Amino acid sequence: MEPRAVRHDWTREEIQGLYELPFLDLVFQAAEVHRTHHNAREVQVCSLLSIKTGGCPEDCGYCSQSVHHQTGVEVQPLLQVEEVIAAAERAKEAGATRFCMGAAWREVRDNRAFERVLEMVRAVRSMDLEVCCTLGMLTEAQAEKLKEAGLYAYNHNIDTSPENYSSVCSTRTIEDRLDTLEAARNAGLTVCCGGILGLGENDGDRVGMLHTLATLQHHPESVPINSLVQIEGTPFAGNPEVSVWDFIRTIAVARITMPKAMVRLAAGRLNLSREAQALAFLAGANSIFAGEKLLTTPNPEFNEDLEFLSHLGMRGKLPDVGEKTPAQCCS
Ligand code: SAM
Ligand code: DTB
Ligand code: SF4
């Protein structure tokens, strides 16, 4: 087989073998794969906005927005379209090319709130930004409506391995997650799907999560790797901090097993030194969330990130907003 072919038949043992490589061998291999498939000087700069905050009926153990945990996050009903446009303008001005809107919903319902989200998508799309939404579970018909409105990507994470899933969330199953991903895929949306480190998982769970993603029929175009931002009042507050080495290993294995995907250094960057972030870029990360807030927690400021990228000789990647169909790159 051609050494750089995109594979969907990874065995768990192979992925485990990659994860266990000597650290620098792994980073070197990942850097080679990265440089074969991507311009290693480009980083995608994404901005996040919580369009509906808190009050979520799901019990995800990491989340500040679940009604099952007392976290002090204030419930904020669905924003107005104008507020979203203003935020997207600020993000674009600051240098973002992808704008991701998150709602603390268990699932999308066919109601006026969804109509308003469709309006938000149309508006942000008209600003030549890649538009991404993360709204919980959805049906194929709903995904089609989002696609028609101009949505580029749907984010829906599997978070951890299939075996560990029930210890992270008990109000849905990983199969529910995979069904939603399939609905988004069938509607022609690109898929953004990754997970979180720091949920009490072991190395085998990290391998299991990557194995699940890397053996999907189509790899996600975008794979966010989050490091838990600990939230007081959630079951995972007080967990041991994620090792930087493990975080970078996970990024490197995601890069090797899903060569064409954008691998995002997602939540948790405030706990990572700039040197560690640079190592993560070397290991194949090529996307970040920028801007002072993620959904409910702090994140590095735009200016600091842009300065940092420029210090590394890197630049922001242009948005994929042309006429070509985006999803075809990662099949
Ligand atoms: N409610 C929707 C859902 O769960 O699909 C969308 C929003 S949810 C906050 C999006 C993702 O953010 C989660 O799947 C999880 O991977 C990540 N996330 C949430 N809280 C986090 C935290 N405290 N630390 C790191 N990542 C987190
Ligand atoms: C993803 O994987 N990480 C983002 C985005 N997709 C929606 C969310 C991170 C949230 C971090 C915790 C918070 O700010 O509440
Ligand atoms: Fe709700 Fe999403 Fe938070 Fe889970 S991660 S509690 S589904 S907002």
Is 295 close to ligand 1, i.e. is its CB under 6 Å away? yes
pLDDT for 325 equals 42
Beta-strand (E) ranges in the chain? 42-52, 98-103, 130-134, 153-155, 190-192, 195-197, 222-227, 262-265, 287-289, 315-316
pTM strictly above 0.85: yes
Does residue 60's CB lie within 6 angstroms of at least one atom of ligand 2? Answer: no
Pocket of ligand 3, candidates 52, 59, 64, 66: which has the most ligand atoms within 8 Å of its Cβ, to mutate?
66
User: Which tens digits make up the pLDDT trace of 92-126?
Assistant: 999 999 999 999 999 999 999 999 999 999 999 99
Is 64 a pocket residue for ligand 2 (Cβ < 6 Å)? yes
> Which domains, ranges and CATH numbers included, belong to the chain?
12-312 (3.20.20.70)
Q: How far apart are CA 20 and CA 157, in angstroms?
A: 24
Between the CA of 282 and the centroid of ligand 1 the distance, in Å, is 25
Mean of pLDDT values over 286-305: 95
Q: Report CA(267)–ligand 1 centroid distance (Å).
A: 9
Tokens 């080679």 correspond to what residue? 32
Q: Are 94 and 302 in contact, with CB atoms under 8 Å apart?
A: yes
Measure 120 CA to ligand 2 centroid, in angstroms. Answer: 19
Q: Give the length of the chain.
A: 331
User: Which residues have CB under 8 Å from 52's CB, separation 6+?
Assistant: 76, 77, 78, 79, 103, 104, 105, 113
Beta bridge partners of 56: 66
Residues noted as catalytic? 56, 60, 63, 100, 132, 192, 264
Q: What is the pLDDT of residues 219-256, one digit of tens each?
A: 999 999 999 999 999 999 999 999 999 999 999 999 99
Runs of H (alpha helix) within 187-301: 203-214, 244-257, 274-282
Instruction: Report the 10 Å Cβ neighbour count for 22.
Output: 8
CA distances from 247 to 109, 203, 253 (A): 35, 11, 10
Q: Is 196 in the pocket of ligand 1 (CB under 6 A)?
A: yes
